[in-house]
Amino acid sequence: MDVRIFDSIEELDKEVARLIIGAVKENPSVVLGLSTGNSPVGVYKNLIADHQQNGTPYGQVTTFNLDEYAGLDGESPQSYRYFMNEQLFDHLDIDKAKTHVPSGIGDLEENCREYEQKIQAAGGISIQLIGIGTNGHIAFNEPGTPFDSLTHVAELSQATIDSNAKYFPSPDDIPLRAVSMGIQSIMNAHTVYMVAFGKSKAKAIKEMIEGPVTTALPASVLQRHPSVYVFLDREAASLLSS
Ligand SMILES: N[C@@H]1[C@@H](O)[C@H](O)[C@@H](COP(=O)(O)O)O[C@@H]1O
């Protein structure tokens, strides 16, 4: 793992955005894997600013998001499709038909199969941007998820449900399941960029990098990936031994 530590979240965001912009310029039809949550928002802001100032073109870019809540369609403000449109896609010249977010409605098992097929048909993901949950989850692959999992219907852990509560009007509205790319789907990406900042991520980051590879800490599987870059602020890196 190539671990890079930044003095500020602003610098971290700029660097990750610079690398993604470079990849888009080098290959205008690159396939990007994207994520939601707070972690990638600053990166997306930088991509938008660059697009507006420098015109980096996204018309041929294909994207695949990691996950979506079960039961929410793209019109729901809490859905990850809505989030992606609002935080990124609506501000780029990207072709929405080339942006993929798993569907959380309809036949979920069928949606999962179709999603994996679409990733394969696109030639696989070149760069996968991901965050990490405080319990070490990646996408919605909670502790215990098998390493060979592909896109599947995932049960959310209580820790994840609790930390997502702030996004929903009442506790009863928080989904208990999601459609999520699996651990193997993430491992299939050519390169993985993980972004994590803040004290709340420090323990999971330490275990991911320095702990054993175990399904108890799903992100630890990334130790086996040949091309992983971990972008941290000082707080997220604070428990690392070196
Ligand atoms: N499914 C998402 C993950 O993909 C994300 O990495 C995690 C951390 O979110 P945040 O970046 O807001 O800390 O939250 C959710 O559980």
Pick the residue whose CA is nearest to atom 3 on ligand 1.
139
What percent of the chain stands above pLDDT 90?
A: 93
Atom of ligand 1 nearest to the CA of 200: 13
Q: State mean pLDDT over 161-187.
A: 92
Question: What's the pTM value of the predicted model, to 2 decimals?
Answer: 0.96
Confidence of residue 156 (pLDDT cuts 50, 70, 90): very high
Per-domain boundaries in the chain: 2-225
For residue 92, the CA-to-ligand 1 centroid distance in Å is 23
**Phi and psi torsions of 185, nearest 5°:** -60, -40
Per CATH, domain 2-225 is 3.40.50.1360: yes
The residue among 143, 123, 164 whose CA lies nearest residue 207 is: 143
Q: State mean pLDDT over 35-47.
A: 97
For residue 152, the CA-to-ligand 1 centroid distance in Å is 17
Burial of 222 (0-12, 13-18, 19+ CB in 10 A): buried
Which residue among 46, 65, 111, 135 is the active-site one? 135
pLDDT for the residue 93: 98
- ipTM over cut 0.85: yes
- To the query of whether residue 152 is one of the catalytic residues in this protein, the response is no
Q: What end-to-end distance do the CA atoms of the chain give, in Å?
A: 13
- Cα 8 from Cα 42, distance rounded (Å): 12
Ligand 1 residue neighbourhood (C-beta within 6 Å) = 35-39, 66-67, 131-133, 139-140, 160
